[in-house]
């Protein structure tokens, strides 16, 4: 059976069935299939980028492969926020005050995670940050950069900032948050037909 589709769709039951029949660990098998697919997805993403302006995509999930962004880049001195899909390498501009998961733009629900035990020191070490949403309890880690990372470099950046994922998980945030499946990734303004 082909595992490409189940891996891309995060279809855990299918992966678990295949892993059981092969006698291997399901999580490892799922990750290996995703890794094997990555070069194909990189190629698909670069072809999609030639056909359409991905930067203006208005959903929180990836236009090319449907994955949630692994991180956001804060690019240049103006720190333009660009969501990046580590699976296929796609990137698209995104407002700072907009949750990519539940789509809220209510500034009272959006902020950055404080790491210090006394709550005084923000998590802005080495140009890294964790943006959080109190509505869906989702988080997006952010890395500062002068130019956008290549797809390969992005994978390394994701691994190098795993401590941010650990800090976010410890504080009770998830990626993605508990967004409603029917409206996941769709900004509130777009849902209300106002964008
Ligand atoms: Zn993608
Ligand atoms: Zn949210």
Tell whether 90 and 113 lie within a shared domain: yes
Tell whether 76 and 10 lie within a shared domain: no
pLDDT surpasses 50 at 117 = no
- State the pLDDT confidence band at 30, using cuts at 50, 70 and 90: confident
* Full domain range(s) for residue 38: 4-51
Q: What is the Å distance from ligand 2's center to 47 Cα?
A: 31
Tell whether 108 and 15 lie within a shared domain: no
Tell whether 116 and 161 lie within a shared domain: yes
Tell whether 42 and 70 lie within a shared domain: no
Mean pLDDT across 3-13: 84
Of the candidates 98, 107, 124, 113, the residue with the CA atom closest to the CA atom of residue 186 = 98
Q: Residues near 158 by Cβ (< 8 Å), separated by ≥ 6?
A: 70, 71, 86
Structure tokens at 170: 């410890």
Ligand nearest to the CA of 174: 2
Q: What is the Å distance from ligand 2's center to 48 Cα?
A: 27
Q: Which of 12, 36, 51 is the last residue of a domain?
A: 51
Q: Which of 51, 70, 88 is the last residue of a domain?
A: 51
- State the pLDDT confidence band at 121, using cuts at 50, 70 and 90: very low
Of the candidates 170, 188, 171, the residue with the CA atom closest to the CA atom of residue 179 = 188
Tell whether 151 and 123 lie within a shared domain: yes
pLDDT surpasses 50 at 120 = no
Tell whether 109 and 27 lie within a shared domain: no
Ligand nearest to the CA of 46: 1
Tell whether 15 and 70 lie within a shared domain: no
Ligand nearest to the CA of 37: 1
Tell whether 63 and 93 lie within a shared domain: yes
Is the bond preceding residue 179 a cis peptide, omega within 30 degrees?
Answer: no
pLDDT surpasses 90 at 181 = no
pLDDT surpasses 50 at 184 = yes
Residues flanking ion ligand 2, Cβ below 5 Å: 99, 101-102, 133, 135-136, 138, 177
Element (H, E) at 152: helix 151-160
Stated pTM of the model? 0.85
- State the pLDDT confidence band at 119, using cuts at 50, 70 and 90: very low
Q: What is the Å distance from ligand 1's center to 116 Cα?
A: 33
Q: What is the Å distance from ligand 1's center to 12 Cα?
A: 19
pLDDT surpasses 70 at 70 = yes
Query: What's the domain count of the chain?
Result: 2
Q: Domain containing 71 — which CATH number?
A: 3.90.1670.10
């Amino acid at each position: 059976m082909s595992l490409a589709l189940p891996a891309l769709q995060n279809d855990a039951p299918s992966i678990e069935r295949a892993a059981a029949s092969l006698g291997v660990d399901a999580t490892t098998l799922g990750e290996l299939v995703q890794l094997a697919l990555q070069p194909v997805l990189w190629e698909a993403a670069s072809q999609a980028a030639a056909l359409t302006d991905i930067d203006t995509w208005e959903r929180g999930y990836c236009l090319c492969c449907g994955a949630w962004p692994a991180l956001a880049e804060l690019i240049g001195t103006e720190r333009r926020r660009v969501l990046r899909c580590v699976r296929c390498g796609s990137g698209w501009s995104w407002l700072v005050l907009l949750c990519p998961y539940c789509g809220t733009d209510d500034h009272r629900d959006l902020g950055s995670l404080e790491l210090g035990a006394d709550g005084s020191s923000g998590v802005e070490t080495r140009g890294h940050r964790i943006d959080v949403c109190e509505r869906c309890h989702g988080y997006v880690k952010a890395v500062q950069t002068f130019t956008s990372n290549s797809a390969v470099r992005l994978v390394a950046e994701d691994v190098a900032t795993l401590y941010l994922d650990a800090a976010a998980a410890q504080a009770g945030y998830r990626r993605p948050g508990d967004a409603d499946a029917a409206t996941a990734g769709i900004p509130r303004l777009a849902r209300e037909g106002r964008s």
